[in-house]
Structure 1
């Protein structure tokens, strides 16, 4: 083992203990789905039902939170903020960052399509890494509180504003940074997370600092372990989307009393769950999983085409890359990169028009310089080579109606039209899809229904789309062997939390103590760095490490 790898492993073991998170429920194995890989091997529909059983665990939490004093206080603060001309700002990282953007866009969509009612800019969002991270993860950003503080400052938050910070585990440093900066600036601050508050404050200093702050109102949304161990894009983000969306729906009803009063959100969510659990829905979801798994197994690619719910698709497809070690979306200025297995396009608009239509505002990307990163205390390697995550970089992902010949080079490549019945842009979407899909060998329609009543922000429709897409993408990866039991056996290590998760997985699958697994991982990472991965998919460090252990 080289000394560089040994030193890095020792440093993680001795000096990064705040990122050893195996004690958190969100990082543990869910007993409901312990044999998820076997269930999918037996029958796809059986695996789908097992994932849906885990989704049911969100419901008791929802009933508790919607009846709580903390939720009532958050609604009242939101109403005061909008009435007073301030902004409700959602902040998050990774899955919760994409959720924050989605919540903002839901509000803006209503305001734009109902002019003269409320200000569209009454709601804003902070995504760790900026809007670029919506479609390509900038995972290492989450390790820096200073980055979150800077994004709050860049947005100019003040004492007229309100922050709703969302972190699945409750310990994401960049999100905690947004909390601290917003408190310092006099904003009303609410913090949502999915682990027991008492456990977080007992074990992690950075959590204690904000949980114990009297200026921060905490909403503990704990709903147990994830269906896939550690994959907080699943039930954790589902619960946060439900609570964040219900917050905005309730505020809207308070500000516009002529609208129908919102129904009980927990009851509405239970109806969505029941609809998705019906025999017809399960069969349709299982059919889509089988189709995608067969497509990818045959080296085919899937390109989704959507319009009104495009942002929901981005939220799911982007998360597949770090979760299952898949190639990320390919930039048009990097033709040598391996194409992503799945991609998302809007056939109705150009890329620039797509972003404006989807966000209902101009993109907010980060144009930070080496001097900025130096001032924020970033690592030398970041200062020396700042990430390309500006607006120009965002437009390098051609998600509009530009031709994409690289997406239909193989006989299994598919164009999939994603339809949500009743969406206003459907007629335009269907017509544009027929033209855009013409070069693709395979055409398919994925129709996503919710079984729920409509509402001003369409919250339950968005919930159903999220649940269905999470089940489809997760089930597909299980069938392709990227899940062992209910653990992500293919995972990237692009931040400290993922390093810890990888070590724990190697420890479990390789039958090694945590410390030995840590040294094995860092040794393997050093070896991987010596290989040439041009024009081929890089394996998961976990798989690479386990293979080396087997050979030894």
Structure 2
């Protein structure tokens, strides 16, 4: 592997032969070129499907032990991790501490570029220590080019603390290698705009994080069928979604679904269990707890008892 300071050989830094006349294209030709190049993200995900499935299982097992999931990155990679983490509580009613995003430069780097801060490996290690990461946790290092010192420092520190570590990068292992429990490479090739990894690399990373976090939440019982039955009912849109989920799964009228939702304390999963079993809110809550929040398992236990 070449020195991390020398990045010209990296796949993410190379020149894309399909876009060498980028500044001469019409707007329509630009859109068509981006469309062709973005299609490569799908094959990259397909090539990494076994590793992504393993990441889902590894993280779900960690949640079962009381562990947490951390995304670590800088720049676009860091922002994508923070975004995915921030969307878990409203989608799955998960506690904010369950999935967390760590970005080089902290909250300020979400809205203003802090590129120089990614060069400090010690800051990555300090971020891991600050969050008191342990052997129960999973740390996902996200670095498109694979060389970000902040991410390297975080992964090394997490490994020293016994945490499970996952690397997501868009360069092959022979260009950059990092010691991690699971190595996921999303190879989309050179960018349309050379070196701008907020493009295909960012897109494929967002896809991978969507798959990882949603897959984990499915595994731990926060989904019934394809319904987000643990949705947090915190605004009008989500209240409407909750009512539609109840109507779809119970054939109740909207008014009846509304009454059921309120009687459950606006907890869709609890409302469904109450409706299907005839139990009150307290007993349904106890039954859900017995089955670690898995609605299907709780319903099945009533059918077999």
What is the TM-score normalised by the length of structure 2? 0.71
Equivalent residue number for residue 234 of structure 1: 199
Runs of at least 4 residues of structure 1 off by over 4 A? none
Equivalent residue number for residue 219 of structure 1: 184
Equivalent residue number for residue 11 of structure 2: 25
1 CA distance for matches of 2:175 and 2:120?
22
Number of residue pairs matched? 231
Equivalent residue number for residue 430 of structure 1: none
| 1:182 Cα deviation after fit | 0.4
Tell me if structure 2 keeps the 8 A contact 1:32–1:53: no
| 1:252 Cα deviation after fit | 1.2
Say whether 1:195 aligns with 2:195.
no
Unaligned runs of 5+ in 2: 228-233, 239-305
Say whether 1:99 aligns with 2:80.
yes
| 1:105 Cα deviation after fit | 0.9
| 1:257 Cα deviation after fit | 6.6
Equivalent residue number for residue 270 of structure 2: none
Per-residue CA deviation, residues 388-447 of structure 1 (Å, 9 max, x unaligned), is xxxxxxxxxxxxxxxxxxxxxxxxxxxxxxxxxxx938xxxxxxxxxxxxxxxxxxxxxx
Equivalent residue number for residue 178 of structure 1: 154
| 1:236 Cα deviation after fit | 0.7
Q: Give runs of aligned pairs for residues 469-548 of structure 1, distance below 5 A.
A: none
Unaligned runs of 5+ in 1: 1-15, 113-117, 202-209, 263-359, 361-422, 426-552
1 CA distance for matches of 2:56 and 2:107?
26
Equivalent residue number for residue 38 of structure 1: 24
Q: Give runs of aligned pairs for residues 399-438 of structure 1, distance below 5 A.
A: 424=237
1 CA distance for matches of 2:223 and 2:19?
45
Per-residue CA deviation, residues 162-190 of structure 1 (Å, 9 max, x unaligned), is 00110000111111111001001110000
1 CA distance for matches of 2:18 and 2:42?
15
Say whether 1:249 aligns with 2:185.
no
Q: Secondary structure at the match of 2:168?
A: strand
Say whether 1:58 aligns with 2:23.
no
Q: Give runs of aligned pairs for residues 323-342 of structure 1, distance below 5 A.
A: none
Per-residue CA deviation, residues 83-103 of structure 1 (Å, 9 max, x unaligned), is 222110011100001001101
Equivalent residue number for residue 87 of structure 1: 68
Tell me if structure 1 keeps the 8 A contact 2:217–2:223: no
What is the TM-score normalised by the length of structure 1? 0.40
Q: Give runs of aligned pairs for residues 98-117 of structure 1, distance below 5 A.
A: 98-112=79-93
Tell me if structure 1 keeps the 8 A contact 2:92–2:222: no
Tell me if structure 2 keeps the 8 A contact 1:253–1:260: no
Equivalent residue number for residue 114 of structure 2: 138
1 CA distance for matches of 2:210 and 2:37?
21
Tell me if structure 1 keeps the 8 A contact 2:4–2:147: no
Decide which of 32, 36, 43 is 1:49's aligned counterpart.
32
Tell me if structure 2 keeps the 8 A contact 1:33–1:51: no
Tell me if structure 1 keeps the 8 A contact 2:12–2:197: yes
| 1:149 Cα deviation after fit | 0.5
1 CA distance for matches of 2:222 and 2:95?
16
| 1:80 Cα deviation after fit | 1.3
